Amino acid sequence: MVLWSVASSATSAFTGQNMCSSNHAKRSLLIATFTLAVAPASTFAFALPGPTACLLVDVADLHTLPDGSLTDSGSEADQQAYVQLARDARARIEDTFGAVESKPILVFFNHPDGFGPFRLNAYGSTQFIGSRACVMVGPKGQSVDVVAHELMHAEIHHRVGYLKRFLQLPTWFDEGVAMQVDYRTRYSLSPQDSQTADYVRDLTTFSSFFKGDEQAVVRNYASAKQVVASWLSKVGTTSLYARLQRLKNGESFDEIVTE
Ligand SMILES: [Zn+2]
């Protein structure tokens, strides 16, 4: 099998203690890489993590839907629902920020643990391997909120580029932008917490943003959502893509967020 040495990163719509972190994903990828180096693809005997799923999704036994999405469900009702969900989620992004350009591999799976040998977040997660992006939506994430949130991460990745996003885009900003198309009420701040949301700007790394218990992480999401919404109300939602392009072109994060 092929040896992969490309770093990966993951992001997830679900908040929780057991979600992937970038470091964890990298470690897992190394383990998976080793595994793949010694075992043929047909003999997976144990769970493989998300980045590997993104690499090997093409060889997984999945159904292809009319819009190119993939699913493990053979049910026609499920398949129609997934196509509609993807359409609604993209429409929400377009209504908020403008046209969707990214074309991530979009997978809807029904089993809470993932599909095939791949173990995935039951809500949703987005895996990036270089320019390749995979949005994996699980049975708990089959809502426009979760799908739009994850597709927005893929759009940011597409606009900024893998390395720039990984190295220069603060996690609070990445999550805060994705939250603009995610209307789940649990991510709304109480009036009291609204006063102190700015703390989230210090959570620039994946590990700092997702540190703490579920309540803490939910608050981070909600704070990021508010801080980014406040910024967008000044600079305009339709300026986002151009700003991300500037980051890709070499400007710093501080420069591209200047009001
Ligand atoms: Zn996210």
**What confidence tens digit (pLDDT) does each residue in 54-89 have?**
999 988 889 999 999 999 999 999 999 999 999 999
Confidence of residue 50 (pLDDT cuts 50, 70, 90): confident
Rounded CA-CA distance 239/34 in Å is: 43
Q: Per residue, what are the HEC states of 147-161?
A: HHHHHHHHHHHHHHC
Query: Is residue 3 over pLDDT 90?
Result: no
The H or E element that residue 129 is part of is strand 124-129
Q: How far is the CA of 204 from the centre of ligand 1 (A)?
A: 14
What domains are there in the chain, each with its CATH number?
8-256 (1.10.390)
Q: How far is the CA of 42 from the centre of ligand 1 (A)?
A: 32
Q: How far is the CA of 178 from the centre of ligand 1 (A)?
A: 6
pLDDT of residue 49: 82
Half-sphere exposure of 26 (CA within 13 A, CB side): 9
Q: How far is the CA of 14 from the centre of ligand 1 (A)?
A: 8
In this predicted model, which residue has the larger pLDDT, 173 or 36? 173
Q: How far is the CA of 150 from the centre of ligand 1 (A)?
A: 6
Mean pLDDT of the chain: 86
Of residues 54, 253, 227, the one with CA closest to residue 156: 253
Query: Is residue 26 over pLDDT 50?
Result: no
Q: How far is the CA of 236 from the centre of ligand 1 (A)?
A: 21
- Model confidence, pTM: 0.84
The most distant pair of C-alpha atoms in the chain lies apart, rounded to whole Å, by: 55
Rounded CA-CA distance 177/152 in Å is: 8
pLDDT of residue 24: 41
**What confidence tens digit (pLDDT) does each residue in 170-219 have?**
999 999 999 999 999 999 998 889 999 999 999 999 999 999 999 999 99
pLDDT of residue 34: 44
